[in-house]
Amino acid sequence: MLRERLELKIFTGSAHLELARRICAFVGVPLGDATVTSFPDGETYVKFNENIRGRDVFIVQPTSPPTNQNLMELLIMVDAARRASAARITAVLPFFGYARQDRKDQPRVPITAKLVANLLTAAGVSRVLTMDLHAQQVAGFFDIPVDHLYAAPVLIRHIRERHLKDLIVVSPDVGGLKMASAYSQALGCGLAIVAKRRKSPTETEAMNVIGDVEGKSVLLVDDLTETAGTLTSAARILTERGAGKIIAAVSHAVLSDLAIERLKGSQLSELITTNSVPVRSTEGFPLTELCIAELLGEGIKRIHCDESVSSLFKISENEKV
């Protein structure tokens, strides 16, 4: 039961209108009326076409490509909502762009994830609801509450329904081991790791496999794929080690032209992902898109009603991500 003392309003920018509509359908509220457009010179124009004074406002906007455009839209919408006297403004970012720039790993480079956190807070965001951050420490860059959801319950439920035989979960790199371990425990199967070396921002080289994958169905899990270099390189070496069917499951499929080309020529048999960002057509390569509207919608309802969000991490009664 949504509380009545603070009316819930959900708005969206232009990044992912379909997801926002599905979230509103689940929550049971109409999508808020806002004008989000651009002037001829490219500047963003925002106007809320309904009263939001004293309302609990949620703005759905993944900062996926075009990243800078979508981020700027979000900041301007937040500023407009603050100046319209919204009681609370929650930025709902199904995909948090710039999360990979989370540390100073070279001389004279920025920590852009921290900059984005500062921009959102300065614009007037009261709290953030996001999903599968590339690095969990990004949540600590904010001085406001951050509710960090996971796509794992949605993805694992789908994998279970497939009843794959002799399944093993594989992390395509050492950094994804914790996520892969959670998947293997939830699915009750083995775990393996692919050791890789990054040759450039768009190219990786798989070097070795730690674990026995011969004759097994492989589930490659990762939080994000953009160029598909890590996934396709891992699939290549897994095939060389005797793996059978290889399926990849990623939370965010921010697919570039290069990624689609690589997927079509890879040993992967399917890519499973969510609609955290608008998913591009892979032109004949099998892609399964799972909806996270209920997950985000439930998060919105619980934040609105000041209820716990942590129970959304449960995969079953005895398992957590």
Q: Domain limits at 209?
A: 152-290
Q: Is pTM beyond 0.75 here? A: yes
For residue range 13-43, list pLDDT tens digits in order.
Answer: 999 999 999 999 999 999 999 999 999 999 9
Q: Do 53 and 139 reside in the same domain of the chain?
A: yes
- Angle between helix axes 257-264 and 229-240 (nearest 10 degrees) is 10
CATH number at residue 247: 3.40.50.2020
CB 237 within 8 A of CB 208: yes
What is the reported pLDDT for 313?
72
> What's the structural domain count of the chain?
2
What is the reported pLDDT for 146?
96
Q: From CA 261, how far away is CA 277, in angstroms rounded?
A: 19
* 3 inside domain: no
Q: Which residues are catalytic?
A: 196
Q: Do 261 and 302 reside in the same domain of the chain?
A: no
**Residue 135 pLDDT level (bands cut at 50, 70, 90):** confident
Q: Do 13 and 145 reside in the same domain of the chain?
A: yes
- CA separation, residue 276 to residues 7, 59, 92, 97 (Å): 26, 14, 11, 12
Extended strands (E) in the chain: 8-12, 34-38, 44-48, 56-60, 88-93, 127-131, 146-149, 167-171, 190-200, 203-210, 217-225, 246-253, 270-274, 287-290, 314-316, 319-320
* 1 inside domain: no
Q: Do 182 and 305 reside in the same domain of the chain?
A: no
Q: Do 40 and 92 reside in the same domain of the chain?
A: yes
CB 180 within 8 A of CB 191: yes
Which residue matches tokens 């651009």? 38
